[in-house]
A and B are shown apart, each in its own frame.
Chain A
C-alpha cells in the first residue's frame, strides 16, 4: 500500500527566506504526486502535481517541487516566502490502480515570522 511521510511537523521561517518541505513516499508503481495547501479554516488547494516527464514541476504561488525517484522524495520549495504562505502543507500520492484515491502525509505547518 502507498504511504507518505512528511518528517517535519512544524517549520518556522522568516519572511523573505527560502522554504523547503520534505516529502517521502512509498508506492509500488509510478507515483502520481501532489502538494496541497490548507489555510486556516479553508479547504485543500492544489499547489502542484507530478505525473511524468520533467522532474521539476512548477506550481501556483511561486512554489516548485522536485521528484527524485532514487530518493523516493517530492520536496516542495519556495525561494522567498511571504506572510500569506503560513498554512499547513500536505503531500499526497495518488493510486491509479484504486480509483486514484489519495494518501496524504501528516502535514507540515508553516509559520512565517516577520
Chain B
C-alpha cells in the first residue's frame, strides 16, 4: 500500500539554526499538509498546500516557517531559525479528495525535532 514517508525520523538542532523536514507524499495526491504535536499535546494543523501554493495556514505558521514542493515528489517544511518551542513531532499528510468531503489524509510516521 502506498505510504507517506518522512525523513529524518529524528532531527536534533541548535536554537537559531535552520532545519528542513522532508516528506514524500503519496504519488497521485493533490493536497499536502504539515501538522505538529508538541509532547503531551494535541496534533495541530500548520499548513495546507495545493496547486503549488499555500492554501491555508494556522497562526502557528509564522514567517519562520515555509513550505515548498521543489520537485514532483518532495514536500518540505523549513524552519528558518529554530526556537526551543519548535521542539515537537512534525507530521506530513497527503490526500486525494474523492468528491464532497470524501477525503482521507494519510500520515507519515513523523519527524521528531529536538531544539537544544
Residues of A within 8 A of B (CB): 30, 32, 34, 36, 42-46, 49, 51-52, 90, 92, 94, 96, 98-107
Contact = CB atoms under 8 A, between A and B. Distances in A.
Contacts of A107: 42-43
A32 B101 contact: yes
Contacts of A105: 42
Interface majority SS on B: helix, strand, loop or mixed? strand
Which size bracket describes the interface of B in this complex? 20 to 34
A44 B107 contact: yes
A104 B43 CA distance: 6
Given A32-B101, A44-B43, A101 B56 contact: yes
B25 interface: no
Residue of A30, A90, A99 with highest tally of chain B CB at under 10 A: A99
Nearest to A4: B42
B76 interface: no
A45 B107 CA distance: 7
Contacts of B100: 96
A98 B91 CA distance: 19
Contact of A100 (B41, B105, B107, B109): B105
A100 B43 contact: no
Given A32-B102, A94-B103, 11 more contacts: A43-B6, A43-B108, A44-B91, A46-B106, A51-B101, A99-B31, A100-B103, A101-B48, A102-B43, A104-B44, A107-B43
A90 B43 contact: yes
Contact of A102 (B41, B45, B50): B45
A96 B101 contact: yes
B42 A49 contact: no
